[in-house]
Amino acid sequence: MLLALDVGNTNIVIGIFENENLKTHYRLSTTLNRTVDEYGQQIMGFLSYSGVNYKNVDDVIISNVVPPITETLRDMAKKYFRSDALFVGPGVKIGMNLKYENPKEIGADRIVNAVAAISLYKSPLIVVDFGTATTFCAINDKSEYLGGVIAPGIGISIEALFRAAAKLSRVEVRKPQNLIGRNTIESMQSGIYYGFVGQVDEIANRIKKELGANTRVIATGGFASLIALDSTTIDEVQPLLTLEGLRLIYNKNRGSSSQNIS
């Protein structure tokens, strides 16, 4: 079995693969001061709860955008799973040509998402990831990674609004019943929801002008399903796209040759 970790600034998504099948997945918060044993015990607890024997885990692959916890995760994989974990980064085979000026600047999660999207769909593609930041990745009809757009995520935008405006409180992110809010909470929910729907559609449509009208838009991340309710550009929602990309990259690094990140 393969243990896959998608480490974001806010959450870590954990998946267990048996061959090509995702058996189970789990989400926990990303904490900088969590120790090797704390991460190990939390993951072991998840496996036990899911009925997975940790001894059946053969290897570990990690996509990490939080450098301060890299060594903690590396040591955790060695101690608890006897694995020299494969981290997505320079030197790892990904099977995709990168047209970015400096490929080392691309977040590992964006690379992994693109690999999965190319495998599942025909390019050209736009991959929208609703994480701590909302990212848009552009893939041309040759399946080359061109670059993209990075915008503030929904969660941090709400937090900034709450902290900067004394009379505004934190609100649940959901689709409002009416566009015109009749109270402060409804007004905020409408602004957040339709504001991000509009942001996604505007940016996606502008990227489509460069990639072509036949470009498909694939959404992933925590708010993907919600925003897709009213988006006119999102074609598919794949909540666990990153885990699938990790599985594919792991397989590429067990023998087949492909383009390295350099």
What is the C-alpha to C-alpha distance for residues 231 and 238, in angstroms, rounded to an integer? 15
Give the pLDDT of residue 235.
97
Say which of 84, 109, 201, 230 is annotated catalytic: 109
Ranges of CATH 3.30.420.40 domains, the chain: 2-87, 103-252
Average pLDDT over residues 219-225: 94
Q: What percent of the chain has pLDDT over 70?
A: 94
Beta partners for residue 237, in sequence order:
219
Mean pLDDT of 63-78: 96
| pLDDT surpassing 60 at residue 203 | yes
Give the model's pLDDT for residue 254. Answer: 61
Q: Which two tokens stand for residue 43?
A: 């993951």
d(C-alpha 136, C-alpha 45), whole Å:
34
Mean pLDDT of 86-96: 93
Specify whether 235 is catalytic. no
d(CA 43, CA 26): 9
Q: Which residue has the tokens 């959901």?
A: 174
* pLDDT of 168 over the 70 cut: no
C-alpha neighbours within 13 Å on the C-beta side of residue 7: 23
H or E element in which residue 62 lies: strand 59-64
Note the pLDDT of residue 209.
97
> Residue 259 pLDDT > 50, yes or no?
no
Per-residue pLDDT band for 166 (boundaries 50, 70, 90) equals low
Region of residue 134 (left: phi > 0; alpha: psi -120 to 50; beta: else): beta
| Statement: residue 15 has pLDDT above 90 | yes
| pLDDT of residue 252 exceeding 90 | yes
pLDDT for the residue 260: 42
What does DSSP assign to residue 260? B
- CATH assignment of 103-252? 3.30.420.40
Q: Which of 155-159, 175-179, 222-226 has the highest mean pLDDT?
A: 222-226
Say if pTM beats, i.e. exceeds, 0.85: yes
Neighbours of 166 (CB within 10 A): 6
- The residues near 234 (Cβ < 8 Å, ≥ 6 apart) are 128, 200, 204, 217, 218, 219, 224, 227, 228
Number of Cα atoms under 13 Å in the Cβ half of residue 5: 30
Rounded to an integer, the average pLDDT of 149-173 is 78
User: pLDDT-based confidence at 161, cuts 50/70/90?
Assistant: confident
- The rounded percent of the chain whose pLDDT value lies above 90 is 77
**Statement: residue 167 has pLDDT above 70:** no
- Higher pLDDT among residues 239 and 169, named by residue: 239
Answer whether CATH 3.30.420.40 is correct for domain 2-87: yes
Q: What is the pLDDT of residue 80?
A: 96
| Per-residue pLDDT at 261 | 43
